[in-house]
Amino acid sequence: MKRVAVQAGDFDVAAELVALEALGGGGVASFTGVVRGGGGLIALELEHYPAMTQAQVDRICDEAMARWPLLGLSVIHRFGRLEPGARIVFVGTASRHRTAALESCAFLIDWLKSEAPFWKKEHFEGGATGWVEARVEDETKAKGWG
């Protein structure tokens, strides 16, 4: 099972986990990214490259399936305006082996950060805005998987 969704709307984490559990592998790992508040942040705006995003996330998923013995994976990435507390991204993996489930989940989120065409803009109280800068350590982490 490979499920990839790039969408504006929210998603149901429990339903995603249940679908992965139903594959019967015995091990499911997941990561959920949530908009972090504080510092006067009122919203994040996620822009993406519609013609490329789905295919690129699909390639990242294929890479994970080639590297680990997975029964299934699910990747959901939202775009548009998201307020603090809103879910941004979900990665779930299912395998017969916990190491494969955990490692592939970490790999997927690291690669999404540096290899998927999304850009975040922050909106603050008072009207200030700013584009989030890519962090060198994110690129280093993704490269660390070889």
Partner 1 sequence: MLTIVYFAWVRERIGLDEEQMARPDAGTTIADLIALLAARGGGYADALGDATRLRAALDQRFMALDTPIGDARELALFPPVTGG
> Which spans of this chain sit near partner 1 (rule: CB under 8 A)?
33, 46-49, 51-52, 55-56, 77, 88-89, 109-110, 112-121, 131-134, 138-139
Minimum Å gap between C-beta 119 and partner 1 is 4
Instruction: Report, in Å, the least distance between residue 123 CB and partner 1.
Output: 14
Least Å from the CB of residue 118 to partner 1? 3
Separation between Cα atoms, residue 102 and residue 27, nearest integer Å:
9
- Spell out the residues 6+ positions from residue 29 whose beta carbon is closer than 8 angstroms to its own: 92, 93, 98, 101, 102, 104, 105
Question: CB 106: neighbour CB atoms within 10 A?
Answer: 15
Which residue's CB is nearer to partner 1, number 69 or number 84?
A: 84
Residue number with CB closer to partner 1 (21 or 115):
115
Closest CB to partner 1 among 25 and 77? 77
Residue 146: how many CA atoms within 13 Å on its side-chain side? 1
Please write down the HEC assignment for all residues of 70-124. EEEEEEEEECEEECCCCEEEEEEEEECCHHHHHHHHHHHHHHHHHHCCEEEEEEE
Q: How far is the CB of 77 from partner 1 (least distance, A)?
A: 6
Q: Which is nearer to partner 1, 18 or 59 (CB)?
A: 59
